[in-house]
A = this chain, B = another copy of it.
Amino acid sequence: MDKIKIAVMGYGNVGRGVELAAGVSDDMELCAVLTRRDPSSVKIIGDTEVMRAEDFAVLKGKIDVMILCGGSATDLPVQGPEYARHFCTVDSFDTHAKIPVYYKAVDGAAKAGGNVSIISAGWDPGVFSLNRLYFEAILPKGVSYTFWGRGVSQGHSDAIRRIKGVADARQYTVPIESAVAEVRNGLCPKLNARQKHLRECYVVACEGADHERIRSEIVNMPDYFADYDTTVFFITEEEMKRDHSGMPHGGFVIRNGNTAGGAGHTIEYSLKLGSNPEFTGSVLCACARAAVRMKREGMCGARTMLDIPPVYLSDKPPEELYFSLL
């Protein structure tokens, strides 16, 4: 069987995660890394060719899937529909409120190109969404909860870095253990934002900056911090590098539900990720495999992980999976 040929568009943390995941997938081959930077300035792990993003057209007919590793704010809204005309694509678009609009744009382009484009893949949205769906379909009467962390939130870290006098920052989202315990024990608590998570901020201040002002600006920042109990720690640049350069993350989705005979049930799905982008890259690779199979079956248009027959994510034939996993 021919290997699945993939290309990566955008070489940040997730692009690197895809490169690593493709390298350990026996049925996949990374054929190109595309970048908007000067290709000669981009150091990748392996020896795949690094190309300029605008030269993507030379890959038409040569690759099976383009994995889009840009950001959801400005990259994907343009790239998703653009590349879906030319290639099967996979992305991790995660701006929740804009998913319906994004889905529609990618769906139209993918149909025009006869391609399958899997959007919003990863862990949340992604495997967490999948679990919410399975939980609700099986136990329609119940309450689902999502907790994130302990892990680094890129968005919250960036928000702190924009404050005057901040040289660097890292924000950890931390689930509140007593709340998690209540949910795990099937108590179906009502929980607001502050009762579910707290926020820990590690800040390197510029020389002479007023720590108290920075702390106040952080903890009172609307949307990001004001609705949470937030703790701010000032540390040195060396401490930041030494203690906070990993990108761990994780979390859990839990459902408390009842069946009509009165029995209570608790289902939980949890992730402890040593590296958020490496795990995300691994999910995107599995979805690339599914996109290729769905296209070979004659499908086209946008899809999400909620639509993928699970066997399509594996490199093993269905009969082997039935026997080894059922």
Question: Is there a chain B Cβ closer than 8 Å to A25's Cβ?
Answer: yes
Q: Is A304 an interface residue (CB 8 A)?
A: yes
- Which residues of chain B come closer than 8 Å to A100, judged between CB atoms? 319, 322-323
Q: From the candidates B96, B133, B259, B270, name the one contacting A20 in the complex (CB within 8 A).
A: B259
With A23-B260, A260-B24, A313-B133 in contact, do A99 and B265 touch (Cβ < 8 Å)?
no
Give A272 to B268 CA distance when docked, in angstroms: 9
Q: Is the CB of A139 within 8 A of B259?
A: no
Contacts A278-B263, A313-B133 given: A306-B323 contact, CB under 8 Å?
no
Which residue in B17, B127, B269, B322 is a CB contact (below 8 Å) of A261? B17
Residue of B nearest to A269 (CB): B269
Question: A125 at interface (Cβ–Cβ under 8 A)?
Answer: yes
* Contact of B259 with A325 in the complex, beta carbons under 8 Å: no
**How many monomers of this protein are in the complex?**
2
Instruction: Say how far A180's CB is from chain B's closest CB, in angstroms.
Output: 13
Q: Which B residue's beta carbon lies closest to that of A278?
A: B259
Q: Which residues between 12 and 55 of chain A lie within 8 Å of chain B, taking CB atoms?
A: 16-17, 20-21, 23-25
Contact with B along A297-311 (1 / 0, CB 8 A): 000000011111111
Cα distance A71–B260 in the bound complex, in angstroms:
23
Contacts of A133 in B (CB 8 A): 310-311, 313-314, 321, 325
A1 in the interface, Cβ–Cβ < 8 Å?
A: no
**Beyond known contacts A137-B310, A265-B278: 12 more, CB 8 A cutoff:** A96-B326, A100-B319, A130-B134, A133-B310, A137-B315, A259-B281, A263-B273, A263-B275, A265-B279, A268-B268, A268-B270, A305-B310
Q: Which 5 A-B pairs have the closest CB atoms?
A: A263-B274, A263-B275, A259-B278, A137-B313, A125-B326
28 contacts between A and B (CB under 8 A): A17-B261, A20-B259, A20-B261, A23-B260, A24-B141, A24-B260, A96-B326, A99-B326, A100-B322, A125-B326, A127-B138, A133-B310, A133-B311, A134-B313, A136-B314, A136-B325, A137-B286, A137-B313, A138-B279, A259-B274, A259-B281, A264-B274, A265-B279, A266-B271, A267-B269, A267-B270, A270-B270, A304-B326
